[in-house]
């Protein structure tokens, strides 16, 4: 007769194997084989048992054939899949006693969804039936939160992946882990005393299901209220606080009143490193923070205390190089710039070696010297040997390795931009030696295209061998086309505007079948079309096309533009009748220009040359020196620029500097007309306009703070319009200074110079000869901080101070006689709209024609402005 074995007898005799476990992982093997007296009852109870009793001899292992595998207790899982996961199948051979059943139980427990597991046996002859009996843990069918808002709940659900965890097993370990994660979430947000508990309730519809509620008591937001030091004798506590990158704001009482500082444990470690960097840079090599502690000030503030051991001041004694064969010791010493007797300075040492946290691939260092010449796998290890109490011998060990060539450049992630467009921006070419400076230049050029998310640009270097490396660019395309449908107010009227800008056009595919999806794209050509209208008073049309790689072989850009505008004094219907115009101002313009990148003085320079033609047609117009007739202008323009900003939208570092010179042919020198004659008509005097014009613009970006998000931008502008003949001033191309730089419509022939805090044109002087300024200057200081930085949208706030003015001529120019303003604003960038902005500025000085301060003014802006 067969029997079911739970293993109790065998367990007592320490025989056989562990065949079962409960939640505390006890294993029990029961052997209720009592001399066959239960033969009839056992057969009645279970048809799988045989009539002949059969005992298991635990001293002699025996092989059996599995006759059947029966699973009991499964409710949520698929029985067949579960049985298969144990490794038991009908017809397989199993040895009793042996490791097979123990391994199966371990596999089942490893799933962590059962509160009890046991395996029972029924043996008949050489066959065995296995009964796998499990008890499933309750399942968590849902999570909710109490004590926090919906936004925080959604963020926690997302970060803890609770949506994916539904119907997971219930266990104290799991809930404790989740509570710790929730607690840490609020600690990171400044709620250092946050408390999290859990409430578990049975699901009314499912007896094996539970619902979990996390109860959160955030408490008060605890911020840093004070920083103290002890043990510092060489430097004051204020000086050490100044060495901190972010927490030093605690000394800024006004800032702390507005915001305070949310103390985060990982930031304490960063600030400790900054304090030690301060000491190390001054020779105190062994300076350490003995301990740091957080102490309560009140229920909303805590203090941070540092204990400092400053140690002795050290000096470099001997500096030697080991392992250098490519570059001489003299060359390396010139770049290192350290000599015997210099105070020990770890930060400077690591910066010039190009190692550790101080390494900057854009700076000249020993590492960049090697890596820019193909030695990608080179490494530098400065070994410091302490001599006495105040000296250090420095032995710099260099492993040069082999020169590494680029095996392959792999591009992924582009679906709308053609490979050839990306590859032409690459300076890392297969077959050439690896050059890290060219890798960084490629990074910058790809970012400047505005076709890819700059925050997702990350070149991956994959070594193939000791002499070959693959470079993989994983790109994330960014929507950059813009559709503009808007209205604006200017000159006392409403102007409707419609425009579209396509940033990835392929002109060569315009007549290709199937290429219009929704337009032929892939070549990164730019096409802009704009229409502005007020009806009968004002209409304008413009089109611009840019090809960044003319011919496809060199980065020589082609820009072609055309525009037409028509302005009258007709304001539409008045008293039910269409008002007839008595004056008009019409403008037609065409231009074409070529630009190219320069490699000298450095790779950031560009040169652009343009020829343009404008035709002005005026009738009874009063806005310029001439009021009737046609005026022609042929302009030759050259722009030399250097642009090293890291991003065209929200720049954090770099500069953008340009010098522009525009010339017209000096017609008055050879046309034989006496322009000093006051009786000359406008047609005679202004048939051909002549002038020379120069503009200088520069802006610099400086990252501030520990993470570089806060950015300081400084800007300077200067413009001058001159004349070849003092009797023939140009009626066009002057400067209109003040306001937001937008008037609701385009005034051709005038440069609009924004200066916030004043009315549009409020700083433009005028007299009988000059209707606009011939000279202007402008200075701007701006702090920017990002609020949202995503590929789908960007928002940042600004605080600005501006100063500038317009002048009739060079003799009136005074760079310090400026009109000042101060204000705040915000910028919003959306791919389909472009850049929008709103500013409030307060003008402290009187505008032209007034003796009172201008006061507050709200401005709206569109597009990037330099």
Q: Confirm whether 539 is domain-assigned.
A: no
Q: Confirm whether 491 is domain-assigned.
A: no
- Residue 248: what pLDDT? 59
pLDDT tens-digit map of 415-471 = 889 988 899 889 899 999 999 989 988 988 888 888 888 778 888 999 999 899 999
Highest-confidence segment of 174-188, 396-410, 692-706: 396-410
Q: Confirm whether 497 is domain-assigned.
A: no
Whether residue 719 has pLDDT greater than 60: yes
Supply the CATH number for residue 805's domain.
Answer: 2.40.160.50
Of the pLDDT bands very low, low, confident and very high (cuts 50, 70, 90), residue 768 is low
Q: Give SS3 for 149.
A: coil
Q: Give SS3 for 343.
A: strand
Whether residue 492 has pLDDT greater than 60: no
- Residue 488: what pLDDT? 56
CA dihedral 514, 518, 523, 528 (to 10 degrees): 140
Task: Give CA–CA dist 288/275, Å, rounded.
Answer: 9
Residues 6+ apart with CB under 8 A from 73: 133, 134, 135, 136
pLDDT (average), residues 499-513? 88
Q: 796: which 2 tokens? A: 């940042």
Whether residue 664 has pLDDT greater than 70: yes
Please tell me whether residues 187 and 293 are part of one structural domain.
Answer: no
Q: Give SS3 for 349.
A: helix
Q: What is the pTM of this model?
A: 0.62
SS (H, E, C) 559-610: EEEEEEEEEECCCCEECCEECCCCCEEEEEEEEEEEEEECCCCCCCEEEEEE
Whether residue 575 has pLDDT greater than 50: no
536/835: higher pLDDT: 835
Question: Of 375, 399, 423, which residue sits at a domain end?
Answer: 399
Q: Domain range spanning residue 379?
A: 315-399
**Count of residues in the chain:** 866
- Evaluated on CA atoms 787, 790, 793, 798, the torsion sign reads positive
Q: Confirm whether 39 is domain-assigned.
A: yes
pLDDT tens-digit map of 670-680 = 988 999 998 88
Whether residue 659 has pLDDT greater than 90: yes
- How many of the other CB atoms lie within 10 Å of CB of 149? 9
Please tell me whether residues 193 and 295 are part of one structural domain.
Answer: no
Pick from 77, 64, 75, 3: nearest CA to 34? 3
- Residue 83: what pLDDT? 78
Q: What is the DSSP string of 508-519?
A: GGTTSTT--SSS
Supply the CATH number for residue 267's domain.
Answer: 3.10.20.310
pLDDT tens-digit map of 619-638 = 888 777 788 889 999 999 99
pLDDT tens-digit map of 341-351 = 999 998 899 99
Please tell me whether residues 128 and 145 are part of one structural domain.
Answer: no
Residues 6+ apart with CB under 8 A from 56: 5, 10, 16, 31, 33, 62, 96, 97, 121, 123
- Residue 789: what pLDDT? 80
Q: In the predicted model, what is the mean pLDDT of the chain?
A: 83
Poorest-pLDDT segment among 10-24, 538-552, 758-772? 10-24
Q: Confirm whether 571 is domain-assigned.
A: no
Please tell me whether residues 272 and 322 are part of one structural domain.
Answer: no
Q: Confirm whether 617 is domain-assigned.
A: no
Of the pLDDT bands very low, low, confident and very high (cuts 50, 70, 90), residue 487 is low
Q: 571: which 2 tokens? A: 């304001």
Question: Of 136, 158, 186, which residue sits at a domain end?
Answer: 136
What is the tally of structural domains in the chain? 6
Please tell me whether residues 328 and 193 are part of one structural domain.
Answer: no
pLDDT tens-digit map of 143-185 = 889 988 888 888 888 888 776 555 566 777 788 888 998 988 8
Pick from 134, 146, 181, 137: nearest CA to 161? 181
Q: What is the DSSP string of 759-798?
A: -TTTT----SS-SSBSEEEEEEEEEEEEEEE-SS-EEEEE
In Å, the largest CA–CA distance within the chain is 140
Please tell me whether residues 422 and 443 are part of one structural domain.
Answer: yes
Please tell me whether residues 238 and 361 are part of one structural domain.
Answer: no
Question: Of 136, 159, 180, which residue sits at a domain end?
Answer: 136
pLDDT tens-digit map of 225-277 = 788 899 999 999 888 988 887 775 554 444 444 344 566 667 788 888 889 98
Whether residue 609 has pLDDT greater than 90: yes
pLDDT (average), residues 368-379? 93
Q: Are 471 and 478 in contact (CB under 8 A)?
A: no
Q: Confirm whether 355 is domain-assigned.
A: yes
Q: 40: which 2 tokens? A: 């009839």
- Residue 431: what pLDDT? 93
Poorest-pLDDT segment among 191-205, 424-438, 604-618, 726-740? 191-205
Pairing state between β 734-737 and 794-807: unpaired
Please tell me whether residues 352 and 437 are part of one structural domain.
Answer: no
Poorest-pLDDT segment among 378-392, 535-549, 593-607, 759-773? 759-773
Give how far Cα 539 sits from Cα of 560, 564, 632, Å. 21, 8, 21
pLDDT (average), residues 353-372? 86
Whether residue 21 has pLDDT greater than 70: no
- Residue 513: what pLDDT? 82
How many degrees, rounded to 5, is the angle at CA 462 between CA 457 and CA 467?
Answer: 130
How many degrees, rounded to 5, is the angle at CA 591 between CA 586 and CA 597?
Answer: 150
Poorest-pLDDT segment among 323-327, 555-559, 767-771? 767-771
Phi and psi at residue 482, to the nearest 5°: -130, 135
Whether residue 60 has pLDDT greater than 90: no
Whether residue 375 has pLDDT greater than 50: yes
């Amino acid at each position: 007769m067969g029997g079911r074995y739970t293993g109790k007898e065998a367990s007592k005799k320490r025989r056989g194997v562990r065949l079962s476990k409960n939640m505390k992982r006890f294993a029990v093997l029961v052997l209720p084989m009592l001399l066959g007296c239960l033969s009839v009852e056992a057969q009645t109870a279970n048809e799988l048992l045989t009539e002949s009793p059969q005992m298991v001899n635990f001293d002699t292992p025996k092989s059996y054939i599995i006759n059947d595998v029966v699973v009991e207790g499964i409710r949520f899982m698929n029985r067949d899949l579960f049985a298969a996961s144990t490794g038991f199948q009908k017809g397989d051979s199993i040895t009793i006693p042996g490791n097979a059943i123990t391994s199966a139980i371990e596999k089942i427990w490893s799933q962590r969804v059962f509160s009890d597991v046991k395996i029972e046996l029924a043996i008949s002859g050489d066959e065995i039936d296995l009964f796998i009996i499990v008890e499933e843990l309750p399942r968590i069918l849902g999570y909710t939160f109490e004590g926090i808002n919906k936004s925080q709940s959604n963020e926690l659900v997302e970060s803890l992946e609770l949506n994916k965890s539904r119907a997971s097993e219930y266990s104290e370990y799991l809930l404790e882990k989740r509570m710790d994660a929730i607690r840490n979430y609020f600690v990171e947000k400044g709620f250092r005393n946050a408390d999290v508990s859990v409430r578990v309730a049975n699901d009314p519809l499912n007896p094996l299901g539970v619902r979990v509620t996390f109860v959160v008591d955030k408490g008060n937001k605890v911020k840093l209220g004070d920083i103290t030091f002890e043990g510092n004798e060489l430097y004051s506590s204020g000086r050490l606080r100044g060495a901190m990158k972010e927490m030093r704001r605690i000394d800024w009482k006004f800032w702390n009143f507005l915001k305070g500082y949310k103390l985060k444990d990982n930031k304490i470690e960063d600030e400790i490193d900054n304090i030690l960097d301060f000491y190390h840079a001054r020779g105190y090599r062994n300076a350490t923070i003995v301990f740091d502690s957080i102490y309560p000030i009140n229920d909303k503030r805590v203090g941070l205390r540092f204990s400092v051991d400053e140690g002795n001041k050290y000096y470099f004694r001997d500096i030697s190089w080991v392992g250098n064969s490519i570059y001489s010791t003299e060359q390396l010493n010139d770049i290192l710039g350290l000599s015997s007797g210099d105070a020990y300075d770890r930060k400077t040492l690591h910066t010039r070696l190009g190692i550790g946290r101080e390494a900057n691939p854009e700076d000249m260092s020993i590492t960049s010297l090697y890596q820019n010449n193909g030695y990608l796998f080179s490494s530098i290890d400065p070994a410091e040997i302490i001599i006495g109490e105040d000296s250090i011998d420095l032995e710099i060990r260099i492993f040069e390795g082999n020169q590494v060539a680029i095996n392959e450049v792999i591009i992924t992630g582009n679906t709308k931009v053609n490979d050839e467009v990306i590859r032409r921006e690459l300076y890392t070419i297969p077959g050439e030696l690896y050059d890290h400076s060219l890798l960084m230049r490629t990074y910058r050029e790809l970012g400047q295209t505005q076709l890819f998310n700059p925050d997702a640009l990350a070149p991956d270097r994959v070594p193939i061998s000791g002499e070959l490396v693959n470079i993989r660019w994983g790109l994330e395309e960014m929507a950059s086309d813009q559709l503009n449908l808007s209205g604006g107010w200017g000159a006392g009227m409403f102007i409707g505007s419609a425009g579209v800008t396509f940033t990835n056009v392929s002109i060569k595919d315009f007549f290709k079948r199937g290429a219009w999806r929704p337009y032929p794209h892939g070549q990164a050509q730019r096409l802009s079309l704009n229409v502005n209208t007020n009806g009968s008073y004002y209409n304008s049309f413009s089109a611009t096309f840019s090809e960044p790689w003319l011919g496809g072989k060199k980065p020589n850009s082609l820009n072609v533009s055309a525009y037409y505008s028509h302005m009258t004094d007709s304001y539409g219907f008045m008293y039910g009748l269409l008002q007839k115009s008595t004056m008009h101002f019409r403008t037609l313009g065409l231009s074409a220009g070529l630009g190219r990148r320069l490699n000298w003085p450095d790779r950031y320079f560009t040169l652009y040359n343009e020829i343009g033609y404008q035709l002005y047609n005026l009738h009874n117009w009063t806005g310029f020196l001439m009021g009737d007739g046609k005026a022609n202008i042929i302009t030759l323009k050259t722009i030399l620029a250097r642009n090293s900003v890291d991003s065209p939208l929200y720049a954090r570092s770099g500069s953008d500097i340009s010098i522009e010179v525009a010339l017209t042919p000096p017609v008055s020198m050879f046309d034989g007309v006496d322009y000093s004659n006051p009786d000359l008509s406008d047609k005679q005097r202004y048939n051909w306009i002549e002038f020379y014009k120069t503009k200088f613009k520069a802006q610099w970006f400086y990252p501030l703070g520990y993470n570089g998000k806060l950015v300081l931008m400084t800007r300077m502008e200067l413009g001058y319009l001159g004349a070849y003949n003092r009797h023939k001033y140009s009626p066009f191309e002057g400067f209109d200074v003040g306001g937001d730089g937008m008037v609701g419509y385009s005034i051709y022939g005038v440069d609009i110079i924004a200066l916030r805090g004043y009315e549009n044109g409020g700083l433009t002087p005028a007299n009988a000869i000059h209707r606009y300024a011939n000279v202007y200057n402008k200075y701007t200081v701006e702090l920017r901080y990002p609020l949202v930085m995503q590929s789908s949208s960007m928002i940042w706030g600004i605080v600005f101070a501006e100063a500038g003015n317009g002048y009739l001529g060079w003799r009136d120019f005074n760079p310090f006689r400026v009109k000042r303003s101060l204000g705040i604003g915000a910028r919003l960038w959306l791919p389909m709209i472009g850049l929008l902005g709103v500013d409030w500025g307060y003008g402290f000085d009187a505008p032209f024609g007034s003796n009172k301060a201008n006061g507050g003014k709200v401005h709206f802006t569109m597009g990037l402005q330099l």
